[in-house]
Structure 1
Amino acid sequence: MSATIVLITGANTGIGFQIVRALSSSPKPYQILVGARSPTKAQEAINAAKEENPSSPSTYTPVVIDIEADDSIRSAFNQVSSAFGKLDVLINNAGAQLEHQYTRGEISERELWNKSWSVNTASTQVVTSTFVPLLLKSTDPRLLFITSGTSTLDGTENQALAVNRHPGAGWPKPGHIGVPAYRSAKTGLNMLMREWHRILKEDGAKVFAISPGFLATGLGGNHELLKSMGAGDPTVAGPFIRSVVEGERDNDIGKVLTKDGIQEW
C-alpha cells in the first residue's frame, strides 16, 4: 500500500501535533509532512511522534513553512513538489488567537484585527492556492481547514459559551473583550472552505472545515485558564481529524464538521 502524503501546517504543537500523533498511530501508512516555522520545531515534533509510535508504518518529513511569508510558502511547495510530485491531503491547521496579546497591551486594536485575518484567513488562502496544483495530481485529493466552534453565526445565541455572554451596560467594558477578531476570521475561513468546495467540486476534491471543539491548546495563551473555562483535552482532535482523512465523513463534504455531527452556519 502506497503512503498517503499529508501536509499539516502548524504541525509541531497543539491540534497540529495531535494530527501527527493520530496519523502515526494508524495502521495505514502516511508520509507525514510536518509543517513548522523552523526546522528545529518540525524535527522535535517528528522525534516525539517516532518515540511514541516506534513501529508506525508512516514516515516523516520536516517542512519549513511560515504561512505569512510568500517566499516560505513557495519554498515549501518546491520541496514537496520535488520530493513527491503530488500531495494527497492538505490540512490548513496553522492559526492564531491574539486577543490575549491585545488585552495585555502588546499589540494595538488594528494589529489585532489585521493579524488575526492575515494568519487565519488570508495566509490560509495563499497556502491553499499554492498547493492546489499538487493536490490535483492525487487520485483522492482532500483539503481540510481547521476552524472554530466560535465561528458559527447561529451559535452566537448560545449563552452557555462565555464568549457569547452579554456584559453589563456602560463603556468601557474591561475584561469582556471575548475573541471577536479570532472568531470573525474563522467565520471567514468557513466561507473560504465553501469557495474551495465550489472551485474544486468538478475535480473530485473533498473539501471540509473541521471544528474540533473548545480545547485547551496554546492558541489562547493560557492552558490552565482555558481548562477552568471548560476546555477539553486537545488529544481528542487527532483521531477525529484522522477519521476525516480516512474517509469516514465523506458524506459531509463541503460542511463544517464536528466530532458528533455538523456545525450550524
Structure 2
Amino acid sequence: MASNLIVFITGANTGLGLETVKSLLQSPTAYTILLGGRSLEKANTAAKEVQAEFIKSPSIIKTVQIDLEDDGSISSAYEHITKEYGRVDVLINNGGGQFDQQILLGNMSMREAWNKSWNVNVTGTCILTHTFVPLLLKAADPRLIFITSGVSTLAESDNIAIKINHAPAKGWPKKEPSVVAYRSSKTGMNMMMREWTRILKEDGVKVWAISPGFLATGLGGNPELNKKMGALNPSIGASLVREVVEGARDLDTGKVVRRDGIQPW
C-alpha cells in the first residue's frame, strides 16, 4: 500500500482542479495526486506539464479517466484506484460545469442545460462519492471535499452589492445573462454535502464544501471575460483547497468554507 497520502481530484486537467494539483505539488507533504479528467489524453498532458514545472516536489501525479456523467467510467476509476492504491485519503469533488450560457448561444435548450447542470454538479458527484466511500473508509484520516460556489448561498442571494443579484430591467424576455441553473445546482450540492456529513459522521470522515471565490477559469467558457469582471487568479482558490486538505479548517467540518470564514447557507 502506498505510503504517500492519496488525493483524488476530479476535473483536474484545467482550472481550479489543475491549480489545486500545483498547490499540492508545492507542499512539503508527499502526495500521490490522482489527476482525474474526462479525456485521459488531456489529463496526461496536464500531468506531464505540471510535474515538470515542480520537478523537485516530493509528490507524484498519476492520471485517471473519469466522466461524472458515465457510471461505467466511475466504476472503472474505482476498480483501478482500488487495485493500484487500496485507499483514498482525500476525495476532492472538483469536476463540474456551468451551462447557462449555452442556452443564450443556442447550443442547448433550457431543459438540456438544467439537466446537465444537475447531472454533472450533483447527481454525478453524488454517485462518484457513493462509489468511493469504501476507499475513503480505509484511510487513517479520510477527507471528503466538494467544490461549491459563492453564488450558491441563499442567505446572500438578495445582496445587491453582488452584481449577479441585481434585478434585470422590466420587460420580457430578459436580455441579461444569468447562471440560474448553475447556482441552483450548487445550492443542491451544499445540501448533498450536509447529507454526506451526516451519513459518514460515525465513520470519522471529515466533510466540507469549499467556496473558492470568483476565479478566472474556463467555467462558463470565457476566462478572459471573467478576468474583466474582477475574477481572481485560480491559484488563490487552490490555496484554500490545500488548507482544507492539510488541516487548517478542521474546526469547520460540515460547513461551506471560504477564505474569510464560513459561507452562510
Q: TM-score range by the shorter chain?
A: over 0.9
Q: Which residue of 2 aligns with 1:73?
A: 74
Q: Which residue of 1 aligns with 2:58?
A: 57
Q: How much does 1:209 deviate?
A: 0.1
Q: Which residue of 2 aligns with 1:123?
A: 124
Listed as ranges, the matches of 1:24-39 within 5 Å are 24-39=25-40
Once residues 181 and 54 of structure 1 are traced to their aligned partners in structure 2, the CA distance between those partners, rounded to angstroms, is: 40
Q: How much does 1:51 deviate?
A: 1.6
Q: How much does 1:160 deviate?
A: 2.2
1:180-238 Cα shifts (integer Å, max 9, x gaps): 00000000000000000000001000000000001110012111211121111111111
1:36-95 Cα shifts (integer Å, max 9, x gaps): 012211111111211211011111111001111000000000000000111100000000
| Structure 1 residue 248 corresponds to structure 2 residue 248 | yes
Consecutive unaligned residues in structure 2, runs of 5 or more: none
Instruction: Tell me, yes or no, if the aligned pair for 1:220 and 1:226 is still in contact at 8 Å.
Output: no
Q: Which residue of 2 aligns with 1:91?
A: 92
Once residues 168 and 43 of structure 1 are traced to their aligned partners in structure 2, the CA distance between those partners, rounded to angstroms, is: 46
Q: How much does 1:158 deviate?
A: 1.5
Once residues 20 and 126 of structure 1 are traced to their aligned partners in structure 2, the CA distance between those partners, rounded to angstroms, is: 23
| Structure 1 residue 205 corresponds to structure 2 residue 205 | yes
Consecutive unaligned residues in structure 1, runs of 5 or more: none
Matching residue's letter, 1:188? G
Matching residue's letter, 2:261? G
Q: How much does 1:161 deviate?
A: 1.9
What is the root-mean-square deviation in Å for CA atoms of aligned residues?
Answer: 1.0
Matching residue's letter, 2:247? G
Once residues 262 and 193 of structure 1 are traced to their aligned partners in structure 2, the CA distance between those partners, rounded to angstroms, is: 14
Once residues 220 and 111 of structure 2 are traced to their aligned partners in structure 1, the CA distance between those partners, rounded to angstroms, is: 19
Compute the TM-score of the two structures, normalised by the length of structure 2.
Answer: 0.98
Q: Which residue of 2 aligns with 1:194?
A: 194
Listed as ranges, the matches of 1:163-182 within 5 Å are 163-174=164-175, 176-182=176-182
Q: Which residue of 1 aligns with 2:83?
A: 82
Matching residue's letter, 2:109? S
Greater shift, 16-25 or 232-241, is seen at 232-241
Once residues 156 and 19 of structure 1 are traced to their aligned partners in structure 2, the CA distance between those partners, rounded to angstroms, is: 28
Q: How many corresponding residue pairs?
A: 264
Q: Which residue of 2 aligns with 1:112?
A: 113
Q: Which residue of 1 aligns with 2:11?
A: 10
Compute the TM-score of the two structures, normalised by the length of structure 1.
Answer: 0.98
Greater shift, 135-144 or 220-229, is seen at 220-229
Matching residue's letter, 1:169? K
Greater shift, 120-129 or 231-240, is seen at 231-240
Matching residue's letter, 1:25? Q
Q: How much does 1:2 deviate?
A: 2.9
Once residues 104 and 161 of structure 2 are traced to their aligned partners in structure 1, the CA distance between those partners, rounded to angstroms, is: 23
Q: Which residue of 1 aligns with 2:148?
A: 147
